[in-house]
Amino acid sequence: MSDSKSQENTILSRIKDLVTEERDLREQSEHRLTPEERQRMRALEQELDQCWDLLRQRRAREEFGENPDEAGVRPKSEVEGYRQ
């Protein structure tokens, strides 16, 4: 497997872990979320946004013949401002 695919798999694995944690937190918290749980949920959402953004950057670079390893994690404030 190429290093690029290995990096992509690492990002996808992290996304899977974050989604699992987010789902578990939601299931455990059928009641209202505590302030700590809300804070963790927000952190999970932000990190997921960053991971998806990084994955999109890498794939776009590869598609256009650029080095996907030059993609980088963008600040939360930048990623959060994007529209889907």
The pTM for the full model equals 0.86
- Those residues whose C-beta lies under 8 Å from the C-beta of residue 10, and which sit 6 or more positions away, are none
Vertex 37, ends 82 and 84: CA angle to 5°? 15
- What mean pLDDT value characterizes the chain? 90
- The tally of domains found in the chain comes to 1
Query: Residue 50 corresponds to which tokens in the numbers above?
Result: 């960053």
Vertex 23, ends 20 and 25: CA angle to 5°? 110
50 pLDDT tier (thresholds 50, 70, 90)? very high
pLDDT tens sequence across 9-46: 999 999 999 999 999 988 876 678 889 989 999 999 99
Structural domain containing residue 36: 3-80
Token match 């992509």: residue?
A: 8
Distance, in Å, from the CA atom of 5 to the CA atom of 64, rounded to the nearest integer, reads 16
